[in-house]
């Protein structure tokens, strides 16, 4: 049996092995192909039943519509792998958007000020979530249930529920309406978040620790990992990404409104779980999350094109999510 170990030492340095390793990093999952098969089935069904579905324009549409969910889902992947949950992301997005718009209208009409205010607010909410969860040992479900309500309430209080108009053209171009290398910026930002997510989770020390903390918190502690700091960092990352999503949304609608995207946290969590994360922690990968959000976005888009009534859309979407999770879980 021991001789089995020897060839591996040699094999690891070959180039093909290295390529396989990278592929594994991106595609890994318990039954990785199920997710992609599910996505393809969805594409085929909608292509056959709607003549408008299969077009570049429509796919860009899906991409734009899934932007918010996809960006935040990157952060949620870290949180769920670390055995936590964040229910506050949609409220954080609303509050961050208000902060960005108010900073530009009250302090200085510069896109940098808006971006810093939006991202900073998101990060701050994440930091508070993380500190309450780890230092006071309150389950993150309860902490973020509270901040879901508080962040939304604060967003409404600052302007007494009125929207804040944004007038900065550069801001619109950078976050909402421009293109980057021919790609609409919302999609470019999504890709950027995904790439950062892949690097952090699969190639960075932080990612290793996230997996360990979620896989077995006690063993992680016994291995000298500061589990509280790592968990808090995951919340900060998610809050910051909710801030980024708020910039994209407000730049697209030229205003920040305090009542946007209510209930979106459920789409985000559904996307991450569809993408193969285990709610019990320690398992998950970013590309899975991307496909999870794409499945949710495609469902939303396809059902509209088919002319399904919106109450019926909710029913079908819910049923498909449950079925897909039952299908893809190990």
Is 16 among the residues that bind other proteins (CB under 8 A)?
Answer: no
Is 276 among the residues that bind other proteins (CB under 8 A)?
Answer: no
Please say which residue, 116 or 196, places its beta carbon nearer to other proteins: 196
Please say which residue, 192 or 221, places its beta carbon nearer to other proteins: 221
Which is nearest to 274 in space by CA: 75, 65, 38? 38
Phi-psi sector, 313: left (phi>0), alpha (psi -120 to 50), beta: alpha
Helix (H) or strand (E) holding 183: strand 183-184
Is 8 among the residues that bind other proteins (CB under 8 A)?
Answer: yes
Is 205 among the residues that bind other proteins (CB under 8 A)?
Answer: yes
Shortest distance (Å) from residue 222 CB to other proteins = 5
Is 21 among the residues that bind other proteins (CB under 8 A)?
Answer: yes
Shortest distance (Å) from residue 118 CB to other proteins = 25
Is 197 among the residues that bind other proteins (CB under 8 A)?
Answer: no
Q: Please give the structure tokens belonging to residue 77.
A: 């992947």
Q: Is the dihedral of CA 299, 305, 306, 308 positive or negative?
A: positive
What lies within 8 Å, CB to CB, of 216 at 6+ separation is 282
Is 62 among the residues that bind other proteins (CB under 8 A)?
Answer: no
Shortest distance (Å) from residue 153 CB to other proteins = 34
Is 211 among the residues that bind other proteins (CB under 8 A)?
Answer: yes
Binding part of the chain for other proteins, among 91-99, 122-130, 153-161, 220-228 by CB under 8 A, reads: 220-228
Shortest distance (Å) from residue 232 CB to other proteins = 16
CA–CA gap between residue 160 and residue 162 (Å, rounded): 6
CB of 258 closer than 8 Å to CB of 159: yes
Q: What are phi and psi of 184, to 5 degrees?
A: -55, 135
Angle separating helix axes 185-198 and 56-81, nearest 10 degrees:
30
Give residues in contact with other proteins (CB under 8 A): 1-2, 4-6, 8-9, 12-13, 18, 21, 199, 203-209, 211-212, 215-216, 218-226, 282-283
């Amino acid at each position: 049996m021991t001789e089995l170990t020897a060839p591996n030492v040699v094999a690891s340095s070959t180039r093909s092995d290295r390529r396989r390793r990278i592929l594994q990093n991106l595609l890994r999952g318990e039954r990785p192909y199920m997710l992609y098969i599910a996505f393809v089935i969805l594409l085929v069904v909608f292509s056959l039943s709607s003549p408008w579905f299969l077009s570049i324009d429509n796919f860009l549409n899906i991409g734009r519509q899934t932007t918010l969910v996809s960006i935040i889902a990157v952060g949620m992947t870290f949180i769920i792998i670390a055995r936590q949950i964040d229910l506050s992301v949609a409220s954080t997005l609303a509050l961050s958007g208000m902060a960005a718009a108010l900073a530009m209208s009250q302090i200085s009409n510069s896109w940098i000020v808006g971006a810093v205010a939006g991202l900073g607010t998101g990060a701050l909410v994440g930091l508070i979530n993380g500190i309450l969860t780890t230092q006071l040992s309150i389950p993150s479900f309860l902490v973020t249930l509270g901040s879901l309500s508080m962040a939304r309430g604060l967003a409404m209080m600052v302007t007494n529920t009125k929207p804040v108009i944004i007038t900065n053209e550069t801001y619109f171009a950078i976050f909402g309406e421009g293109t980057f290398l021919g790609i609409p910026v919302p999609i470019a930002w999504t890709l950027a978040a995904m790439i950062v997510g892949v690097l952090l989770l699969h190639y960075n020390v932080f990612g290793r620790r996230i997996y360990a903390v979620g896989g077995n918190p006690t063993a992680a502690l016994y291995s000298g990992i500061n589990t509280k700091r790592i968990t808090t960092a995951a919340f900060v990352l998610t809050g910051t990404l909710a801030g980024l999503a708020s910039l994209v949304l407000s730049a697209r609608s030229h205003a920040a409104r305090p009542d946007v995207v209510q209930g979106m946290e459920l789409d985000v969590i559904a996307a991450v779980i569809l993408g193969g994360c285990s709610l019990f922690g320690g398992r998950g990968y970013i590309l899975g999350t991307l496909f999870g959000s794409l499945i949710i976005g495609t469902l939303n888009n396809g059902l509209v094109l088919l002319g399904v009534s919106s109450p019926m859309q909710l029913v079908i979407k819910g049923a498909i999510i449950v079925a897909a999770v039952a299908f893809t879980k190990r």
